[in-house]
Structure 1
Amino acid sequence: MRANRRRVAAITAAVLAATLTAAPPATAEEPITDPIPEEPIAAEFGLVLEQHAQLPATEATPPATDPRLIRHNRINHIGELPDGSGRQYVPDLNGPLYLLEDGRQHLYLDFRERFEHFFSGKGMGSGFGFVAFHPDFAANGKFYTVHSEGREAIATRPPTYPNQPDAVVQSVVTEWTAQDPAADTFTGTQREIFRYGFSTHIHAVQQIDFNPTARPGDPDYGLLYLGVGDGGIGLDTDIPQDLSTPAGKLLRIDPAGGNGPGGRYGIPADNPFAGRPGALGEIYAVGMRDPHRFSWDPEDRRMFLGHIGQHAIEAVYEVRAGDNFGWSRREGAFTFDPRTQCYLYPLPEDDADYGYTYPVAAYDHDPPPNWPCNSDSGHAVSGGQVYRGHDLPQLRGKYVFGDLVDGRVFYTETDRMRRGEPRAPLHELPLFDTTGRQLRMSDFVGDGRVDLRFGTDSQRNLYLLAKASGTIWKVTGTRPARASEVTDTVRRNLVAHYDFEHPFAADDSRELDTGSSRTLLSLINGGQDMRVPDGAFPGSNNALQTRQISPDAESNDDWKAGVWDDNGTLSAFNATDGATVMGWFKMTGENPAPDTTTPDPGDRYNAVGLAGLLTGNSTGHDVRALLELIEVDGQLRLVALGRRLDGGASQTFAARQDWRELLPAGQWVHLAATFDYTTGQMALYRNGAPLPGFYTDPGDPWQVDGTGTTASTPRGIKIGGSFPGNDRERNPCHCRMDSLMFLDTAADHRTIAEQYRRFTHR
């Protein structure tokens, strides 16, 4: 979603001359590293999704190389034709326009066949972007589309307004007139009404639509809105503020009029810039980067727009004529400086003088601390719909929207979405299938990148759709949300928590940490294939699979997971008084694994890696707190192994019971190891109950003095084997793991027992 940084010197002077206001000077304020610290509130209810349709697989034209474009298909909206037939329409960016009726799908129109220079092979929004049916379609047969055409078209087809410099793609708006509006396939005529070229393959024309709340005789009836992005160059120019160009604007035109360029459409007289010298009369609102989706509240008729941000803010605006959202001088309600894109800045004291409009709802990217701040962190808002139906009273009056990349679904109360007032609180909605299982959208689609969109029908039913699987779901009900799997007591000290339900959308070979440190976990060697559909407890859907891959040869391809981090994200463990490592484990293969570092094929490793926290000076193996199977006096045992001082000796507390009884093959077991560095006490727990055990060193290897660990931050976490730096194979585990937790305290028996009961009795 990141814009390409690009200097366009040829247009700079013209842009600056036509801007709405003088640009405010670069700020000297301290940057704001967490612009929206409030997390979305967990909703008390969730949505029940029932599969409505799955559309055919399609490919881009020309074939795409960007994996974000190589999806099942690229469906991006669902709506209902305004003709009373109940038929629904679904555009696919790769070219097809489908109609759905009583579960049957028809290919109504295919842009790949209609347009010689049709282009969808590069750029997230390229292709057949959207379709809008005229409110009088049943009588006049008219509908409007936007699609992309490549360089060949740019060389031969003149644009409505001058293309951006060095344009590589054009957005084309076409009017179609169906000979028979009731037909399942299109026959009729077409005429081009708008064409404009962009310098990059991103942020072109997205949604086009009519206001469905307007009635005959209303000033807005039959007027077409066009959401035009900045073409990826608004970052380095003032083009979104330039009133002489369509880029970075919301346009409003009359398709039936003739006073626009070439007489192809009309410019409504009540548009806010109509008749203003140097300004395009089509402009309705300005200052946008990527105006992705907009919709109207059927009850109060307000317009809401989801605006995709740069590296920090995803926003929803209430749109009125003449609004200026401030890009690229503002991102959300903060000052933006293109020289320091990782950070935003406070608004200047004279901010009111610039007349910018700020979001009524927003959330920030909040990238993981061990992820580059100027990289795509897998966030982009997908504008939604206000629910005004009658079947789901809990949803009524709520604006339901989401993040199109990671698939999270939110709502805000429309009566809290007021301009000039504090942002409306966001509530995150859990999702359920029709059997009652709670799932994330990544589970529904089977991919960490969801590509989520929203739609509605004439009865105000809500629909969710995803490119990842080409599937459309209808919201058919609501259900009470499940209790959190984490107790309040554990949450207070939960530094890292990996439940394998949260793939990182920008790279789903990583797992998001839902603990306080938010440290990304790498799924090493197996990537996303290590996340398997298997849950250890009610409500869990996925687990981590670790294993040895090549038992017959020395190699470094074993599946394991880990964090190898010098950035200090695990600083809660710096000089800590205690630690706890716990999680669910299931043995799924041969343990211990064949030792591939020796010539004897019968040799086995003398340990099986489960999970541990490294020391601050570790080169990849030395641990501060470890739960593992280790050979003790010639016998493999379940142990807690800890080290208080970096470079110091370790102590081991070993369970007396045979490890094969504690971890029987094919059964999920909850294990915990606790470490009190101030007293030297260690303990092991199985399914919430303490395990009898013994210390292997009768002395004081920790050099206990009543204080905690060395004042250093752990270098990382290792899971399922040694060396998360991935420089060799050691102690692989043929096992599955679920809900791994790392606490910065030595949890007591009651805390661990309560957490185990929470897992099993949610």
Structure 2
Amino acid sequence: MTRIRWSPPTLVAFITALFASLAAALLAAPPQARADEPILDPVPEDPTPSGLGLVLKEVAQLPASTPTPPDMVTDPRLRRHNRINYVGEVPDRSGRLYVPDLNGNLYFLDKKTYRHHVYLDVKAQFPDFFSAQGLGQGFGFVTFHPDFKRNGKFYTVHVESGDALKTKKPDLTPQPNTAYHGVVTEWTAADPSAQTFRGTHRELLRIGFSGRIHGIQQIDFNPNARPGDPDYGKLYLAVGDGGNGNVGDNGGDPQNLAVPQGKILRIDPAGRDSANGKYGIPADNPYAGREGVVQEIYANGMRDPHRFSWDTGGSKRMFLGHIGEHAIEAVYDVRPGDNYGWSEREGAFRFDKNDRCYLYPLPADDAEYGYTYPVAAYDHDRPPNLSCTADSGNAISLGYVYRGARLPALRGKLLITDIVNGRLLYAEEREMRRDPTGKKRAPLYSMAAYDTKGNPVTLQQLAGDARVDARFGRDAQGEPYLIAKANGKIWKVVGTKTFADCRTAPIRISHATSAKDWAPVTPSKWRFTGREVVLAEAGVERPGPRRPFEYAVLTKGPVLGSADITAQVRLDTPVSVGDRDVIIVFGHRSDTRFYYAHLSSDNTIYPHNGIFVVNDADRQRIDQQWNGDRLVPHGAPPAVTDEAWHDVRVKHCADTGEIAVYVDGSRRPLMTAVDTTFRSGRVGFGSFDNVGRLRDLTVTATRG
């Protein structure tokens, strides 16, 4: 074996290279927080642009309504146009949609004309009806028995306070200092086909809560169950922790199997073996027959189990959308006996009751506790100046896995909205798999929205309010609707659309690698080899607005309108140098008026890795991925991290202002923006202060 002899220069060079490689490895590896260190950004992977949009058609606006009693309303979030919170279809093939309003009315809508009327005034039936405090208080939900056409039965949940606290007793263990009752009622229509309710009702179950939030949320039947199946006719109830499941007298309720709060319950409305004799305990419930526990429990460990649904295709799984406290909005794959960990866990993180601001890493012995972790999640990205206990403006509302026929682009996708800001999201059902460590989650993807004329819109614009209060609903065929409390409107999803899907023809420009085809800012810094356009010398900052230091504008061809730009780019600046970038210019009108896509390895600071506009002022960031006002600011994932060639595509739609940037052949855009400052211009290539090159440029476009 040859023995290595180290000379002093060789040894110094080796040690230098070793420390450089170690430093690079440490920078590349994600930071591992110690068990006692708070996590500032629990889910750093933001929902990524899907390149898919929903076409929304407004079909109805339901009447304005007010909470009861109106003089007790102190929370401005309750002063909405109305408080509609779901849209579904009566399971009797009558073509009637139903919509509950938390303020008291159950509406029916004709599915063809969308004319609406009050089917039942729930509020009027109960003297102690209460909806004046708490975002989910009032007439919370309604579901129809799968055999409603024959038996006329449907079920509601509403909230009571006032004299009910003195005259009526909860059926299951109430929380100390009970201030509200959540009541489940069975209704039987004398004529199921009638347009207004006439019939009888009886109380099934009453649960006591100390807080005015996180009561009984959704109630529903499994649509996959058929007569004769064990699950047919079994009613599921999502019961929150009352808003106090982690502190005070109620701390630990979600983990306490002797109380109903913080659980999903499952009951049989046709049975009578419950403690109150009004419903049955299904024999296949995970805790049926066990003493000292609530035998109605199906799963536990929840804070605010807001919405759940069953996939009607695939593996027919049940999914739950769970609203977090500090940071985590989560989707769970629900199975009997699951424990989702609240308030010992929030998502796949340790919750510390003494810290009102942050989450912590899971302990080394976490597997011993048997908690079930989310199959998908996103976090709040809280602004640094926002109080830890303030509303962060995030709350998940689960829709359902689309298995309909009219929108093939949505098939197999679990549709999700954020209640507050109206973001439209989805996860692929096939990608949602359980992981006992909580580390592997399905990616979440964001969707755009369009009106029926093809114009990009947001739910905030459609609702006319920054707080949308948005939710998905569906009809009997599985076709989706969206609703908003902000203005009480209902939209039907009538189509899908690809983001930045505009016509870019008939102009085609290629084979543009000669000096005569380009106009550089500083010609001496450029080389044109016949195959490549090379920025050989780094640019320097110039007077005027802050903008890229050095770039060349393509002069071949006319001024362009909508453009589709494809090329390969490479950064020649070594990886060891920080702040590396190349840019693709488009919509160029002058040296101080243009757009550019900044492709960089750094996505943590404002000037990097984004889409920008220069309009006779310092460059302004316009992409939809940047969240710079947050505790841990970041944008889209880094676009270029090495010295290899990368495929880049920039699509700019002049009329709508849509801009999409794709990297390395991905069918989903890395960055998106909507801006109509410039509707025509030229394209270009360059950098701030690095060197790099471009080849295989092709531009297809309309004339500007």
- Aligned-pair CA distance for 1:115: 1.0
**How far apart in 1 are the matches of 2:88 and 2:200?**
23
Which residue of the partner structure matches residue 120 of structure 2?
A: 109
Contact 1:538–1:760 (CA under 8 A) maintained in structure 2: no
**How far apart in 2 are the matches of 1:78 and 1:399?**
17
Q: Classify the secondary structure of the residue corresponding to 2:409.
A: helix
**How far apart in 2 are the matches of 1:761 and 1:335?**
57
Task: Name the aligned partner's letter for residue 37 of structure 1.
Answer: P
Which residue of the partner structure matches residue 420 of structure 1?
A: 435
**How far apart in 2 are the matches of 1:759 and 1:155?**
73
Count of residue pairs the alignment pairs up: 515
Contact 2:381–2:630 (CA under 8 A) maintained in structure 1: no
- Aligned-pair CA distance for 1:104: 1.6
**How far apart in 1 are the matches of 2:265 and 2:297?**
4
Which residue of the partner structure matches residue 662 of structure 1?
A: none
- Aligned-pair CA distance for 1:687: 8.5
Which residue of the partner structure matches residue 58 of structure 2?
A: 51
Contact 2:35–2:362 (CA under 8 A) maintained in structure 1: no
**1:510-525 → structure 2 map (5 Å cutoff):** 515=626, 517-518=628-629
Q: 1:183-222: per-residue Cα shift (whole Å, max 9, x none)?
A: 1100000100111111110000000001111001110000
Q: 1:658-690: per-residue Cα shift (whole Å, max 9, x none)?
A: xxxxxxxxxx977xxxxxxxxxxxxxxx9899x
Task: Name the aligned partner's letter for residue 359 of structure 1.
Answer: P
Q: Classify the secondary structure of the residue corresponding to 1:349.
A: coil
Contact 1:496–1:519 (CA under 8 A) maintained in structure 2: no
Q: 1:404-458: per-residue Cα shift (whole Å, max 9, x none)?
A: 1110011111011111272110110111110001111101111110101111111
Q: 1:344-389: per-residue Cα shift (whole Å, max 9, x none)?
A: 1111121111111110110000112343344221000001110001
2:478 pairs, out of 428, 449, 460, with 460
**How far apart in 1 are the matches of 2:66 and 2:93?**
32
Contact 2:123–2:139 (CA under 8 A) maintained in structure 1: no
**How far apart in 2 are the matches of 1:212 and 1:516?**
39
Contact 2:131–2:137 (CA under 8 A) maintained in structure 1: yes
Q: Classify the secondary structure of the residue corresponding to 1:443.
A: helix
Which residue of the partner structure matches residue 81 of structure 1?
A: 90
**1:365-380 → structure 2 map (5 Å cutoff):** 365-380=380-395
Which residue of the partner structure matches residue 152 of structure 1?
A: 163
Contact 2:35–2:363 (CA under 8 A) maintained in structure 1: no
Residue 211, structure 1, aligned to residue 218, structure 2: no
Contact 2:286–2:336 (CA under 8 A) maintained in structure 1: yes
Which residue of the partner structure matches residue 212 of structure 2?
A: 201
**1:697-716 → structure 2 map (5 Å cutoff):** none
2:447 pairs, out of 419, 424, 429, with 429
**How far apart in 2 are the matches of 1:46 and 1:363?**
20
Contact 2:173–2:260 (CA under 8 A) maintained in structure 1: no
**How far apart in 2 are the matches of 1:443 and 1:213?**
36
**1:152-171 → structure 2 map (5 Å cutoff):** 152-171=163-182
Q: Classify the secondary structure of the residue corresponding to 2:78.
A: coil
- Aligned-pair CA distance for 1:482: 2.2
2:290 pairs, out of 270, 276, 279, with 276
Residue 440, structure 1, aligned to residue 458, structure 2: yes
Task: Name the aligned partner's letter for residue 166 of structure 1.
Answer: N
Which residue of the partner structure matches residue 35 of structure 1?
A: 42
**How far apart in 2 are the matches of 1:669 and 1:44?**
22
Task: Name the aligned partner's letter for residue 59 of structure 2.
Answer: H
Which residue of the partner structure matches residue 516 of structure 2?
A: none
Q: 1:697-756: per-residue Cα shift (whole Å, max 9, x none)?
A: xxxxxxxxxxxxxxxxxxxxxxxxxxxxxxxxxxxxxxxxxxxxxxx96899x99xx9xx
**1:456-495 → structure 2 map (5 Å cutoff):** 456-482=474-500, 487-489=596-598, 495=606
Identity %: 56
**How far apart in 2 are the matches of 1:339 and 1:758?**
59
Flag as ranges the 4+ runs of structure 1 deviating above 2 A.
368-375, 482-488, 490-494, 496-500, 511-520, 536-541, 686-689, 744-748, 757-762
Q: Classify the secondary structure of the residue corresponding to 1:151.
A: coil
Task: Name the aligned partner's letter for residue 218 of structure 1.
Answer: D
1:264 pairs, out of 265, 278, 281, with 278
Which residue of the partner structure matches residue 404 of structure 1?
A: 419
- After superposition, the Cα gap between the structure-2 partners of 1:280 and 1:747, relative to the gap in structure 1 and judged at 3 Å, is same
Which residue of the partner structure matches residue 320 of structure 2?
A: 305
- Aligned-pair CA distance for 1:258: 0.3
**How far apart in 2 are the matches of 1:424 and 1:284?**
24
Residue 336, structure 1, aligned to residue 342, structure 2: no
**How far apart in 2 are the matches of 1:288 and 1:460?**
28
- After superposition, the Cα gap between the structure-2 partners of 1:395 and 1:147, relative to the gap in structure 1 and judged at 3 Å, is same
- Aligned-pair CA distance for 1:161: 1.7
C-alpha root-mean-square deviation of aligned residues, in Å? 3.3
**How far apart in 1 are the matches of 2:300 and 2:330?**
15
Residue 252, structure 1, aligned to residue 266, structure 2: yes
Which one is further off, 162-171 or 210-219? 162-171
**How far apart in 2 are the matches of 1:265 and 1:324?**
25
Q: Classify the secondary structure of the residue corresponding to 1:174.
A: strand
1:136 pairs, out of 133, 141, 147, with 147
Which residue of the partner structure matches residue 99 of structure 1?
A: 108
TM, length-normalised to structure 2: 0.68
Task: Name the aligned partner's letter for residue 132 of structure 1.
Answer: T
Contact 1:90–1:97 (CA under 8 A) maintained in structure 2: yes
Residue 362, structure 1, aligned to residue 380, structure 2: no
1:127 pairs, out of 124, 138, 145, with 138
Gapped runs of 5+ residues in structure 1? 1-26, 501-510, 521-535, 542-582, 585-667, 671-685, 690-743
Q: Classify the secondary structure of the residue corresponding to 1:33.
A: coil
Q: Classify the secondary structure of the residue corresponding to 2:149.
A: helix
- After superposition, the Cα gap between the structure-2 partners of 1:260 and 1:760, relative to the gap in structure 1 and judged at 3 Å, is farther
Contact 1:75–1:92 (CA under 8 A) maintained in structure 2: yes
Which one is further off, 44-53 or 89-98? 44-53
